[in-house]
Structure formats: structure tokens, C-alpha cells
Chain A
Amino acid sequence: MNKATTQRQHTPLDRMADNMTQFHPDTHWLAEYVSGSLPEAQALCIATHLEFCPQCRADINALTEIGASLFSATDDTTPLNPQVLDAVWQSITPDNNPPPAVAIQAESHPTSVPAYPDSFPRALRKLIPDGTSGLPWKNIGSRLSVAKLHRIDAERDVSLHRLQPGGVVSDHDHGGREITVVLSGSFSDQNGQYHPGDFLVREPGETHRPTASEDNECICLAVCDAPVKFTGLFSRLLNPLVALQHRH
């Protein structure tokens, strides 16, 4: 099963501590995240998953320590330009003191309380300053709506997908690789059932038919390399809409 390579499962012991999140990014995702080479839109997916998953946070810490030891072991014989230290002194000199600790996130929008689903990830809040209800949702079929978010890297679309309770999305093939992170509710497809925090990768050419659970709407973060192509019954109807979604 090909997909298994992109969906790492922790050991049963790990899962006891973390019984919600079952689908995790593979090691190579985490390594590129830690080393900083992962494109920002994909890094957003990892950062979002990490907020749900203590086990992957532990993995990230271990991977960061590995990075730090490689960093510490670098060949550091390159001479330092003595002016660099002078420049540092100059820029920290104004009042000689580190600035006082600033309360984290004294952000704008004090007037309204944005409506987020419970435990909405911090990494995403800045992209959705007015809450999920303030987004420009576009209906794609009767049960699925999509809201495009601000692009954060040149090659990928970032959007939220909202699937009504019991809603089914017709079979579709992703024209490019798509990462999905469940934010609230749950959905299932032929490979399993996905809950908040679950991290899924669909490679181009894989088709699937997600179905939301009956009791709640399901909201997911989706980051896609290229337009999604619908292969199901309504493909001719749906594709122009999707093309519209992906036009920039």
C-alpha cells in the first residue's frame, strides 16, 4: 500500500497517550520542516498538525536536537568579520537593555470575537482574522464549500474545505499533491476515518471520495500544488468551478 509511506503511524504505546490523531506526517516531512526547506504552505500543515499531536512535537524536538548537533559540528574556521560584532553592539546599544517581554499576540481585530471552531490552531488564526464565518466561502456542489486563504508560497493554494454533515465529495483526482489536515469534525474515505489533527497526503493520480460524518460538519485545511480534477459523474459541471477556485 503506497499510501502507508506518507502516513506514519506511531507505536500502540504512543497512541494511548494520543488517541485522537492517527495519521502523521512521515519523517521526511518533519525533517524538511525542522531544517527549514519545506515550502511555507506545507510548513503551515505541519505546524497545524503539531498543535494537535504531542508525539510529533516530541519527534520535532528530537529532530531539532539532531540539527543542532550538526550545526555545532560545522567546520567553523571561516573567519568572522570583526565589524559584525561591532554592528551587533550598535544595534543593541540604544538603551542597552533587552526590550521587556511583550505579551504574545496582542493582535489587531479587538472589536469582534472571531468565530473559530473549538481549539482552532494558532498557526492558522492569522490567515483567518475574522474567523471561519468571515471567509469568502464558495459552494462547490451542495455539500462542499471551499474558502481560499492568502497564498503563502508561490506554488501552492491554501484553502479551507467545509463538508456538511453526511456530505460526500465526488471521486476526484488531485492534479497536484494535496495535503489535508482535519481541523474539526471528521470524515472518511476508502482508507480510513480522519479526526482533528490527522495529516493526509494525496499524490497526483490517487482518487478518493471523502464522506463527512453524519453528526458534524467537517472543516479541513487543504494545501494543493495544482488544481484538483474531478473524475466523477459531475466532472464537467464541477471542473470549471474548481478551475475558478484555483485561478489567481
Chain B
Amino acid sequence: MPEKQQAVKDEWAPLLAKVAENQDRQAFTRLFAHFGPKIKAYGMSLNSMYTSVEMADELVQEVMIKVWEKARYFKPEKASASTWIFAIARNCRIDYLRKMKRIDSPLRVEDLWPVSEEPDPITTLNQSRNEQSIQSVVNTLPREQASILRAIYVEGKTHSEVASQNNLPLGTVKSRVRLAIEKLRTGLPNHE
């Protein structure tokens, strides 16, 4: 990996490796201390009648159990630790809503939102550096774009919900999201 020197290290990936290889409880406790509060905040942000502190605590518990159980499926060359954990948290949140709404489906959430798949050659890039560059671009986004992006991703709102709750035309919301995503993507090292 010639680019290694410039890469920002993903400090959490080695901890996941320790959990996978040695069931290292100390490493796991550090992951819990870092990601637990983020998962809780992510749960509390959900725009739903089912959101509650208890639900958010339950989400932390479920996500962290999955992190322990599935650490061996984590592929640092495919995703950074936080991207992997975000995907797990997203799936647990979908699953929670599904249970609340009593959706009866033969499909597991992972059938529709697969998390640990083989990496595509085309997308194997330096993930941790990506995340750093995205982060720095997020901070430069105009406020309105950043808040819509947050509503979509963190609060789990649809574009239509964002539009009606902010009295904006749907087309405006879609184009703001698209603009924000384009800006963030151009921050990625292998963009075009």
C-alpha cells in the first residue's frame, strides 16, 4: 500500500481485530465507550413515535452485541470501523421499527441491507482517509444542506417528510441533498 503514509489511521479497526481474534474485553470496552454514546444519540434522533430513551439504550445494547459477535466479519480494507458500525446501527434501527410496526416479512433486514459482503474491487479504497475528508467537507457545507443531510441520515426522515416539515417543495429538498452529496463525494480521493 504505497498510500499508507498519508493515510489517517482508523484507530478503531485494530480494536475490532482484537475482539475478533482474542475476544479481547478491554478492546471491546473501549469500543463501547466510544461508539455507545454515538449509537444512543443515533437512536434518540430517530424521527418516530417509537423513539424513547429505553429504545435508544436497547439499540446500544443490540448493536454492541452484534459488534462482538460479528467482529470477525469486519473487513478493514472494505470499510472503516465507524462505517461498519453505522451500517449495523442502521439495520438494528430498521429492525426495531419493523418489530414496533409488526411487519411480518420472510426477509431479514440483512437480506435487504447486506452489511458484510465481499468488497468490490472498484470500491476498495482507503476508507479511513475517505472518512476524514468527508468529515472536513461536512463542516464546510451550507447550514441548510448540512441540516437536511442530517435529517435524512440521522433522523431517518424521507425526502417527503423533510419537505413537508420544512415547508419546502420536494424538488428543493432533493436537489439540496444531491448537491450536498456531490460536494462530499468530490472530497473522496478516488472520485473520477
Contact = CB atoms under 8 A, between A and B. Distances in A.
B107 A44 contact: yes
B132 to A, nearest CB: 9
Contact of B107 (A33, A57, A87, A127): A127
Chain A binding surface, main DSSP class: helix
A31 B177 contact: yes
A70 B149 CA distance: 8
Contacts of B3: none
Interface in B140-157: 149-150, 152-154, 156-157
Nearest to A85: B32
A91 B181 contact: no
Central interface residue in A36, A57, A80, A85, by most chain B CB within 10 Å = A36
Given A32-B152, A80-B60, A65 B41 contact: no
Interface in A2-45: 11, 13, 17, 26-28, 31-38, 40, 43-44
Contact of B41 (A40, A69, A74, A150): A74
Contact of B181 (A31, A32, A33, A72): A31
A75 B86 CA distance: 15
Contacts, number: 197
A96 interface: yes
Given A36-B94, A58-B120, A62-B185, A150 B68 contact: no
B41 A28 contact: no
B68 A152 contact: no
Interface string B61-95: 10011001111110000011011011101110110
B119 to A, nearest CB: 9
Interface in B98-156: 98, 101, 103, 105-107, 111-114, 120, 122-123, 127, 130-131, 134-135, 138, 149-150, 152-154, 156
Interface stretch (A97-105, A160-168, A237-245): A97-105
A208 B96 CA distance: 39
Which size bracket describes the interface of B in this complex? 35 or more
A75 B87 contact: no
Given A31-B177, A62-B188, A88-B65, A67 B90 contact: yes
A55 B192 CA distance: 12
A92 B32 CA distance: 14
A75 B103 contact: no
Central interface residue in B44, B135, B157, by most chain A CB within 10 Å = B135
Nearest to B159: A28
B40 A76 contact: yes
A13 B38 CA distance: 38
Central interface residue in B38, B98, B120, B188, by most chain A CB within 10 Å = B38
Interface of B: 19-20, 23, 29, 32, 36-38, 40-42, 44-45, 56-57, 60-61, 64-65, 68-73, 79-80, 82-83, 85-87, 89-91, 93-94, 98, 101, 103, 105-107, 111-114, 120, 122-123, 127, 130-131, 134-135, 138, 149-150, 152-154, 156-159, 161, 174, 177-178, 181, 184-185, 188, 192
